[in-house]
Chain A
Amino acid sequence: MSEKAIKERMSGNEAVAYAIRQVEPDVMPAFPITPSTEIPQMVSTYIANGQMDTDFIPVESEHSAMSAAIGSEAAGARTMTATSSAGLALMWEELLLAASNRLPIVLTLVNRTLSGPININCDHSDGMGARDTGWIQIYAEDNQEAYDNYIQAFPIAEDSRVHLPVMVCMDGFITSHAVMNISLLEDAAVKKFAGEYHPEEFMLDAEHPVSVGPYAISHYEMEAKRAQEAAMERAKEVILEVGKRYGEMSGRSYGLFEKYRTEDAEFIMLIMGSAAGTAKQAVDELRESGVKAGVLKLRVFRPFPEKEIAEAVKNCRALAIMDRCESYNGNSGPLGSEVTAGLYRNRVFIHAVNYIYGLGGRDFTTEDVKQVFEELKETADGRLAEQQHKYIGLRE
């Protein structure tokens, strides 16, 4: 049975802060950085007003924020934090420790580009830079998904099959600061869904002492990393279960990705984050003029659902893989590399063209999307050679 919905209008940051108040984790260490600053600010206000009972730790840096989160989570407290861009980069070493120590911390990442040039606007270079740190990564299209993904993050992270940290990502400013209509859940429903945190092992359990993060000699290191990878593989089924259960409660179900008009699509755009909304709008307009276009909006980037993506796009004539991030590998962005590798491994040999768009907050419009679909059609018809790694809206 569906829970009662509360109609509101909120920015993405407000929506996540609201969800944090509802989940009410035990501890939040955080350091402010644009555009995620509002999240710890709003949570601090909730705490000051007596609306929630979370211990807020004002730390001196993001390095300290993640270190404190690791200590707190290892002690047995449900812990979350929020950051952006350079803040995530400063957490780098600790991100890997949080994952390898199997600590189910939840981090809201408000995506912002990494320097340089220094810039405060959206792209995915922060999240993509952390793609091999062992964190689950879930990307939101809008404020509603940011809210919904946040509430699902705890049951995913804390599942005994997983025990991995989760990064809940939304686009800086575009999602974090733009106000939209949103459907919220009642506090009790969120608390029930997120459940109470009862870790099987924690450092403050004096009856069952445990040492976290020991040194491993070469005889153990590979085995430890393989076991961590297995947890990431298991996360996929847990994410699907939680997404389904969330749908039964809220009326909004979630999978690894969303297929938008892809069933009969000849041309598909694979895209992540807020720009998926732009792509869907363009696809609706193209459909009216008879172009069989579709969008595959990737929600879960880690674990990477390559088999499922390959299955979803195998019948189209051409695929555009959209990266809001440069990878500086001389060939493609990160999604370009991983999706094409996945297509090859699953023996799906369609045209797959990688584009770079929206770096540092550059506009990405429905006209840009239509241009990409036009190029896909020309490529599939053999009138245009595949133009890999093309920048959209670049002044040439």
Chain B
Amino acid sequence: MRTDIQKINESSPWTELTEGFRIQASGNSAEFHTGEWRTNTPVFLADKCKQCLLCAPVCPDCAIPVSEGRRGEFDYDYCKGCGICAKACPFDAIVMKEGIEP
């Protein structure tokens, strides 16, 4: 019997968890918003960006959405503020700012 994980929450008794605390679904890391860990925030300067896309693959989460060969604005729900994208950018199109707001 597959448990409906939608029914499991922080009030669920131990007898109602899934075996081995498994998640009976896939692709669910998107529901985990790591952006709330952030203490520093990258800011995207679109006018300096050459769309070289060196930033997107080095992001350890999925904070740099790419669509039709172009990156867009940061998705801050997934940005932990690690700053790797700012280091990777050859054109100073990403600058790190202190604090959680862009």
Contacts and interface: CB of A to CB of B under 8 A. Distances in A.
Interface in A188-229: 201, 208-214, 216, 219-220, 222-224, 226-228
A223 B22 contact: no
B22 A214 contact: yes
B23 A223 contact: no
B15 interface: yes
Given A163-B19, A208-B2, A223 B24 contact: no
A214 B28 CA distance: 10
A216 B10 CA distance: 11
Contacts of B22: 101-102, 201, 210-212, 214
A211 to B, nearest CB: 4
B28 A211 contact: yes
A210 B17 CA distance: 14
A177 to B, nearest CB: 37
A100 interface: yes
A210 B15 contact: no
Interface residues of B, number: 17
The 9 closest A-B pairs by CB, nearest first: A209-B26, A102-B20, A223-B14, A211-B23, A219-B10, A224-B21, A226-B14, A101-B20, A227-B14
Contacts of A230: 14
Given A208-B2, A209-B26, A211-B25, A223 B13 contact: yes
User: In which size bucket is the chain A interface?
Assistant: 20 to 34
Most buried by A among B21, B23, B24, B27: B21
A213 to B, nearest CB: 8
Contacts of B17: 220, 223-224, 227
Given A201-B19, A224-B20, A227-B17, 18 more contacts: A101-B22, A163-B19, A201-B22, A208-B24, A209-B24, A209-B25, A209-B26, A210-B22, A210-B26, A211-B22, A211-B25, A212-B22, A213-B20, A220-B10, A220-B17, A222-B14, A227-B21, A230-B14
Nearest to A163: B19
B36 to A, nearest CB: 12
